[in-house]
Amino acid sequence: MKFSAQREQLLTPLQHVFGAVEKKQTNPVLGNVLLQASDGQLTITATDTEIEVQAKVDLHIDALGEVTVPARKLLDICKYLPDTARVDFDSSADKVKFSSGRSRFTLATLPVAEFPMVEPLSDAQMVTLTAEEMYQCIRNTAFSMAQQDVRFYLNGMLLEISTEKLACVATDGHRLAYAQCCTDASPETPVRVIIPRKSITELQRLLSSADAEDTVQLAITPQHLQIFIGDVRLTTKLIDGRFPDYNRVIPLNGDKELLIDSATLKQALTRASVLSNEKYRGVRLALKSGVLTISSNNPDQEEAIDEIEVEYTGESAEIGFNVTYLLDVLNTLESENARILLKDGNSSALVTPEQNSDSKYVVMPMRL
């Protein structure tokens, strides 16, 4: 295998696929990327066997072939070369020679036969979305995914696609995020799949660098989801499990509604969090006509009290929350004001943007 390329031609696809590289190194070859040089094209692939990301770049290839090389080392070498550098790549036997100007590197390789590749998907349902649609729904919900929960189906995100609607839902059992948008996608059958956390993280990163109007194609089977974004292809296994009925979790009977400036509330919660219990992160919200009082304390007998004006004229109420969960919601909201619906100290709160009901956030209360 032999080719020459500008640094950027190699660096960009390497950055696209690197997130899929296995970090724990349980199998040495999973710490490598697979480079395949065909006529006029270089394909770079990384995988941890659960997720595979593949990127292609058009190049003049001097000698065809394929090889696996250490992903981190190759990425770092490309990253630290000058922006205008041109690189020469030549592989033979069990070594790769990589040079640019007066810099020369020799990297060890591992057998291509040991590198696991995803089999082509058969009988997949195809769905087309825009990058903007998918990115916004994922961005607005990803923070609520669970991490290493024994309920494995919570360690990911529910993706639903029906006629004219795309929806994403994530929950860790203490909070829930829901986002939807209108779409022109018209799947043959409604789509309802659970995508693993790592795959969502990589997909969000890839979508963030795509143009809003770029087309995203999804190939869906019962076990796998394959996503095409430009010259990048992400393939992931799906989580086999029953996602909770989120409609039953979203509270609709709250009789206390307040409208509050998102930035003001976020600043007050951030101040109160300084003196909250480091383990439980609890804050108390006391609501009365026109005023919201936020307070926190900790085992050192320290206390914070903050009052802010709100649009509210109902009955008084008190409720405790994990301040981190509230701040995560406010950091995601893109509206100037937040609308909060409450019932009592034992019921979940519903937070939505003032002018938009396409996003809904449920936060469970905590006892303080």
Answer whether residue 26 shows pLDDT above 90: no
- pLDDT score for 314: 84
pLDDT band at 86 (very low <50, low <70, confident <90, very high): very high
Quick one: which H or E segment has residue 76? helix 71-80
Ordered by where they begin, the domains of the chain are 2-114 (3.10.150.10), 125-246 (3.10.150.10), 251-363 (3.10.150.10)
- pLDDT score for 186: 84
264: left (phi over 0), alpha (psi -120 to 50) or beta: alpha
Alpha-carbon distance 30 to 40, whole Å?
Answer: 26
**C-beta separation of 41 from 5 below 8 A:** no
Cα→Cα distances 30→44, 108, 112, 162, 229, Å: 13, 14, 11, 36, 23
The per-residue pLDDT for range 288-304, each reduced to its tens digit, is 999 999 999 999 999 99
- pLDDT score for 214: 93
- pLDDT score for 134: 96
* pTM: predicted TM-score of the whole model, two decimal places: 0.93
The per-residue pLDDT for range 226-235, each reduced to its tens digit, is 999 999 999 9
Average pLDDT over residues 208-233: 95
Alpha-carbon distance 165 to 179, whole Å?
Answer: 10
